[in-house]
């Protein structure tokens, strides 16, 4: 006797108008010996889990699909090699059996019923939600599991199964759609203002080796001084005007920070006037128009100029000169309700100072913990024009003026 040729069993038409089925579990393994009509695999259709019998006898030489894998009708399912050439397979039984698959070409309904069982022995599951009472017909627990793992709502999947049943292939199609579909998005074109701001900020970050330092400052004395100068008819200068006055004084003491850098000629160009930029969040976006000649103004004059400038800037009415002339920028980001910031320098300037919220915090005064009005002052500077010592001295002068404002104002 000689070795017989292997026989490949193709997945048959399961008789439900379906084009594929999924392997639920194999009932045999490669190397096992099977008889004709022996169930070898359970496959899942849209309506039931079916035990598929082998039409051949012999040794299983190959299983063509893994559990959970989908096999198309007419594609290889299992390969069986007869034990010897002389092996004779039984003829189909009168009621339909043998090498004609039960339920697939035979007229024996009793045999079909023996090997076909509805999933979970119950009708299609009705998936309900609290927000949508419309039922979703799902027979297979595998379909429900696939949808759950992919975070898919079964109500949103178009069913193709008989009677509106959601099948495994329906879920797989939806999963493929998720992988290829673009995320919902809104495209907002950059305005001319945004394009200009983007260019300045990008150039600043690309060209300037910036460094940031900060210090917590006790502003209680300044807070009290401002309150003391108010009258029913005159509110007096605001806190920002006082801060601006201290900043201007600091720039006079450290003029290298009121400059720009000529990279091509390797020169620091110090301005002989302080045009103090004030960061303003307005309708067009964030701008930093300048109070022109801020170094020649009193605190009261600075207050009036800042109020006028910020009011116009918020509605986009700062002049082109004001928007371009700044030599140094003061950023009051505390007005936005935040405590600190590592700001981007407004190119071609070389530094920027900012103040966070003034809030009550526990503070040690003369060895006692007391509530004080504390603000965080941050300073970002171009490390090419100065070192940390200059930056720290500039900040310390301003911090000292805030903490003991009356002598500072008298000196100014």
Nearest in space to 43 (alpha carbons), one of 140, 162, 159: 140
Distance CA 129, CA 134 (A): 8
Q: Is 231 left (phi over 0), alpha (psi -120 to 50) or beta?
A: beta
* Residue 79, number of CB atoms within 10 A of its CB: 18
- The span from the CA of 304 to the CA of 300, in Å, is 6
The answer to whether 145 and 154 are in contact (CB under 8 A) is no
Task: Report the relative pairing of strands 368-382 and 210-218 from DSSP bridges.
Answer: antiparallel
**For 44-81, what is the HEC assignment?**
ECCCEEEEEECCCCEEEEEECCCCCCEEECCCEEEEEE
Reduced 3-state DSSP string for 249-262: HHHHHCHHHCEEEE
Instruction: Evaluate whether 102 touches 111 at the Cβ level (below 8 Å).
Output: yes
Alpha helices in 104-219 (DSSP H): 109-115, 141-149, 168-180, 192-207
Cβ atoms 153, 166 nearer than 8 A: no
Parallel, antiparallel or unpaired: strands 58-63 and 136-138: unpaired
Give the pair of three-digit tokens for residue 204: 């600043």
Query: Is there a contact between 342 and 365 (Cβ–Cβ < 8 Å)?
Result: no
Catalytic sites, residue numbers: 383
Q: What angle do CA 61, 64, 68 make, to 5 degrees?
A: 130
Q: How far is CA 25 from CA 15, 59, 124, 138, 256, in A?
A: 20, 18, 21, 20, 79
Q: Which residues 6+ apart lie within 8 Å of 265 measured at CB?
A: none
**Residue closest to 161 by CA, chosen among 50, 46, 23:** 46
Q: What is the DSSP letter of 5?
A: P
């Amino acid at each position: 006797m000689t070795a017989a040729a292997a026989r490949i069993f193709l997945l048959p038409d399961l008789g439900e108008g379906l084009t594929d089925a999924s392997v639920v579990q194999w009932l045999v393994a490669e190397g096992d010996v099977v008889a004709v009509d022996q169930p070898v695999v359970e496959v899942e259709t849209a309506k039931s889990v079916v035990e598929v019998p082998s039409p051949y006898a012999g040794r299983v030489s190959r299983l063509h699909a893994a559990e959970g894998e989908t096999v198309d009708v007419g594609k290889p399912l299992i390969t069986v090699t007869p034990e010897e050439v002389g092996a004779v397979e039984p003829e189909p039984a009168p009621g339909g059996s043998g090498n004609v698959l039960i339920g697939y070409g035979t007229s024996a309904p009793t045999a079909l019923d023996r090997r076909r069982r509805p999933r979970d022995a119950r009708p299609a599951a009705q998936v309900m939600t609290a927000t949508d009472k419309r039922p979703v017909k799902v027979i297979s627990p595998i379909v429900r599991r696939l949808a759950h793992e992919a975070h898919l709502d079964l109500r949103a999947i178009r069913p193709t199964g008989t009677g509106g049943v959601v099948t495994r292939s329906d879920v797989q199609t939806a999963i493929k759609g998720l992988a290829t579909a673009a995320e919902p998005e809104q495209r907002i074109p950059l305005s001319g203002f945004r394009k200009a701001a983007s260019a300045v900020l990008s150039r600043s970050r690309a060209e300037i080796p910036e460094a940031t330092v900060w210090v917590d400052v006790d502003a209680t004395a300044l807070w009290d001084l401002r309150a003391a100068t108010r009258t029913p008819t005159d509110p007096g200068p605001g806190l920002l005007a006082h801060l601006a006055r201290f900043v201007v004084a600091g720039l006079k003491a450290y003029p290298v920070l009121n400059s720009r850098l000529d990279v091509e000629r390797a020169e620091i160009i110090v301005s002989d006037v302080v045009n103090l930029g004030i960061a303003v969040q307005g309708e067009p976006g964030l701008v930093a128009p300048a109070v022109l000649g801020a170094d020649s103004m009193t605190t009261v004059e600075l207050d009036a100029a800042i109020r006028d400038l910020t009011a116009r800037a918020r509605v986009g009415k700062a002049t082109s000169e004001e928007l371009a002339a700044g030599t140094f920028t003061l950023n009051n980001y505390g007005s936005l309700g935040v405590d600190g910031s590592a700001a981007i320098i407004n190119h071609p300037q070389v530094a920027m100072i900012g103040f966070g919220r003034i809030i009550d915090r526990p503070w040690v005064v003369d060895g006692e913990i007391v509530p004080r009005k504390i603000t965080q002052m941050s300073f970002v500077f171009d490390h090419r024009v100065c070192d940390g010592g200059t930056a720290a001295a500039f900040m310390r002068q301003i911090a000292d003026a805030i903490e003991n404002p009356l002598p500072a104002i008298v000196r100014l």
